[in-house]
């Protein structure tokens, strides 16, 4: 990639709003330092944000924090944790991974930033059928030794779904978001915008991405167009939707297809027995969530669509269908915040009710215990406050709980992170 740019930043506080660019910082370094120190001393009322992405009204995105060197008494700016992906690819604050622990899941070339700023992702099965290596989705790597986990050589579908969710900012919540309700059309729009910056190998993701849509919507028409072009070009599809509300009939459909709730413009999906078995084995919790009424997202990759003709009302009617190669599930809240357990759902609902600002870190294809369950972003004097829900009492889980508690005590300080022993007490502690 080209050299990183220093974009203008905005100071917004009780004194009003000011912007300054790189030239100002060089021409008047003393004034620049005064502004930084004022922002640091008044961080409860002053927001510093990067202007590398023009046209967005959300002042919470691309916020910066001010650091102070005790040795030189000089201040400098840095991005907040879990926000590096919000910046423009050529911005000096940009990062593919919001957290370095997410990057450790994959080999270095699984997700790359191309010269044009696009993210290039490698999947186990590529999108172009005639050029792709024909192989089944990889098994999850096993540990290569005590404390070591082999980096994965490709990103699986759950990882891609997490990447799209995180790059779209759907895993972030702020009370101001309640003014514009999150609904399926909004989610599809955000995902489509993000897909414009991603390639799977050499194929732009948008060329193969079909998103949940209602009948007669623009997205439904776009889905039909993508399916038609994919059939002509022998290109595989990536489909993202949500499962239909559970019913006995929907459960029955799962034996041979994916019971989708918003599928306008999609081809018919044929679910092979081996893919269904793998889905049931790898996503038992999510399927249980679905059966008890939770909202569950699904991502699947399919072979290129094929057209056959079926007899209907005395006429031969074309039917577009494709075979599912692999699929993954993700439980989400009514605000489309991903959830890894029923207890997390209870915490997320209460955070929303109390109008808190928070992030749900996503683990991609890694272990569930590598990241906090949530991160609070609105505690005065604290940049990030991790939150943990401990939901089991098995010996192995309790041992891991002790390790995580020691880690948080060492990194943040005793009493400076929130936790709930949900397996021991139904009373959720108050939030900081």
What six digits make up the tokens of 165? 């969710």
Q: Would the pLDDT of 2 be above 70?
A: no
* E strand residue ranges, 247-355: 268-270, 295-302, 306-312, 315-332
Regarding predicted confidence, which is higher, 321 or 82?
A: 321
Query: What is the distance between the alpha carbons of residues 304 and 324, in angstroms, rounded to a whole number?
Result: 10
Task: Express each pLDDT in 72-91 by its tens digit.
Answer: 999 999 887 778 878 888 89
Task: Express each pLDDT in 333-370 by its tens digit.
Answer: 999 999 999 999 999 999 999 999 999 999 999 876 67
Q: Band of the pLDDT at 316, cuts 50, 70, 90?
A: confident
* Closest by CA position to 241, among listed 274, 204, 212: 212
Task: Express each pLDDT in 94-107 by its tens digit.
Answer: 888 888 888 889 99
320: number of CA atoms within 13 Å, CB side? 19
Cα angle 181, 58, 178; round to 5 = 20
- What do you get for the CA distance between the two ends of the chain, in Å? 41
Q: E strand or H helix at 386, and its extent?
A: strand 385-390
* Closest by CA position to 9, among listed 82, 59, 70: 59
Q: Would the pLDDT of 399 be above 50?
A: yes
Q: Would the pLDDT of 140 be above 60?
A: no
374: number of CA atoms within 13 Å, CB side? 31
Q: How far is residue 414 from each of residues 145, 183, 301, 398, 399, measured CA to CA in Å?
A: 31, 39, 45, 18, 18
* Closest by CA position to 383, among listed 88, 26, 65, 61: 65
- State the average pLDDT over residues 175-180: 88
What does the domain layout of the chain look like in residue ranges?
9-86, 100-332, 358-421
Query: What is the distance between the alpha carbons of residues 320 and 322, in angstroms, rounded to a whole number?
Result: 7
Q: Band of the pLDDT at 157, cuts 50, 70, 90?
A: very high
Query: What is the distance between the alpha carbons of residues 219 and 317, in angstroms, rounded to a whole number?
Result: 23
Q: Would the pLDDT of 56 be above 80?
A: no
Q: How far is residue 305 from each of residues 268, 353, 362, measured CA to CA in Å?
A: 9, 44, 31
- Reduced 3-state DSSP string for 158-227: HHHHHHHHHHCCCCEECHHHHHCCCCHHHHHHHHHHHHCCEEECCEEHHHCEEECCCCCCHHHHHHHHHH
Cα angle 405, 410, 412; round to 5 = 90
* E strand residue ranges, 56-110: 63-68, 75-79
- State the average pLDDT over residues 39-57: 83
């Amino acid at each position: 990639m080209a050299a990183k740019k220093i974009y203008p930043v905005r100071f917004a506080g009780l004194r009003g709003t000011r912007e300054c660019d790189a030239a100002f910082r060089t021409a008047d370094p003393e004034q620049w330092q005064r502004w930084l120190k004022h922002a640091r001393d008044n961080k409860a009322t002053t927001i510093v944000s990067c202007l590398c992405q023009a046209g967005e009204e959300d002042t919470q995105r691309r916020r910066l924090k001010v650091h102070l060197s005790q040795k030189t008494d000089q201040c400098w700016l840095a991005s907040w944790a879990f926000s590096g992906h919000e910046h423009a690819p050529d911005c000096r604050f940009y990062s593919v991974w919001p957290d370095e622990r997410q990057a450790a899941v994959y080999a270095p070339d699984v997700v790359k930033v191309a010269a044009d700023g696009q993210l290039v992702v490698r999947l186990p099965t590529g999108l172009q059928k005639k050029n792709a290596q024909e192989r089944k989705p990889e098994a999850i790597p096993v540990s290569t030794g005590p404390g070591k986990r082999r980096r994965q050589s490709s990103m699986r579908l759950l990882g891609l779904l997490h990447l799209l969710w995180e790059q779209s900012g759907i895993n972030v919540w702020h009370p101001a978001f309640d003014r514009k309700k999150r609904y399926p059309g909004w989610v599809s729009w955000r995902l489509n915008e993000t897909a414009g910056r991603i390639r799977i190998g050499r194929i732009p993701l948008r060329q193969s991405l079909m998103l949940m849509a209602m009948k007669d919507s623009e997205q439904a028409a776009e889905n039909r167009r993508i399916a038609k072009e994919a059939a002509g070009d022998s290109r595989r599809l990536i489909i993202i939707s949500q499962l239909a509300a559970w019913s006995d009939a929907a459960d029955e459909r799962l034996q041979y297809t994916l019971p989708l709730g918003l599928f306008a413009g999609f081809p018919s999906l044929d679910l092979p027995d081996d893919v269904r078995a793998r889905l049931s084995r790898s996503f038992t919790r999510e399927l249980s969530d679905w059966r008890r009424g939770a909202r569950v997202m699904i991502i699947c990759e399919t072979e290129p669509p094929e057209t056959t003709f079926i007899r209907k009302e005395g006429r031969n009617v074309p039917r577009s269908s494709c075979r599912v190669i692999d699929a993954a599930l993700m439980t989400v809240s009514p605000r489309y915040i991903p959830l890894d357990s029923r207890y997390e759902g209870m915490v997320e609902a209460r955070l929303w009710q109390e109008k808190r600002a928070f992030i749900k870190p996503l683990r991609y294809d890694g272990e569930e215990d590598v990241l906090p369950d949530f991160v609070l972003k609105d505690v005065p004097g604290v940049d990030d406050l991790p939150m943990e829900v401990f939901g089991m009492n098995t010996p192995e889980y309790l041992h891991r709980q002790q390790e995580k508690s020691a880690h948080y005590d060492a990194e943040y300080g005793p009493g400076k992170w929130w936790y709930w022993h949900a397996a021991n007490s139904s009373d959720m502690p108050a939030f900081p």
